[in-house]
């Protein structure tokens, strides 16, 4: 789900997305207990984003706990792919 934030800049209203993930590459995202997010790519591999919105490297096989108490095993460590999915639209 996209959270839209309205910012008043120079008298005009600009809608920005605080969640700029290219969802065409990401199958789903899972919120973790510590506030970070795991993005699951369509090929089953994962990338991690910490609670500050930065892409983080994590060892494959690491067990993470989701917000609702389930366990997720880290598959892959798609740092660069996630970086591109999250921030690729910032580049020209």
- Which residues contribute to the site for Cu ion (CB under 5 A)? 48, 58, 64, 74
**Shortest reach from residue 73's CB to Cu ion, in Å:** 9
Nearest residue (beta carbon) to Cu ion: 58
**Shortest reach from residue 71's CB to Cu ion, in Å:** 11
Measured from the CB atom, the residue of 21 and 48 that comes closer to Cu ion is 48
Q: Count CB-CB contacts under 10 A for residue 10.
A: 5
C-alpha distances out from residue 76 to 24, 32, 90, Å: 19, 17, 25
CB 16 within 8 A of CB 5: yes
**Shortest reach from residue 87's CB to Cu ion, in Å:** 18
Q: Quote the CA–CA distance of 65 and 31 in Å, as a whole number.
A: 9
Measured from the CB atom, the residue of 33 and 42 that comes closer to Cu ion is 33
Measured from the CB atom, the residue of 5 and 57 that comes closer to Cu ion is 57
Give the strand pairing for 71-73 and 4-9: unpaired
């Amino acid at each position: 789900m996209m959270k839209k934030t309205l910012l008043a800049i120079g008298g005009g209203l600009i809608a920005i997305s605080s969640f700029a993930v290219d969802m065409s590459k990401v199958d789903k995202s899972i919120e973790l207990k510590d506030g970070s997010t795991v993005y699951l790519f369509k090929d089953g591999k994962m990338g991690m984003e910490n609670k500050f919105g930065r892409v983080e490297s994590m060892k494959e096989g690491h067990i993470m706990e989701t917000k609702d108490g389930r366990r997720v095993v880290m598959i892959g460590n798609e740092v660069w792919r996630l970086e591109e999915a999250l921030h690729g639209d910032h580049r020209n």
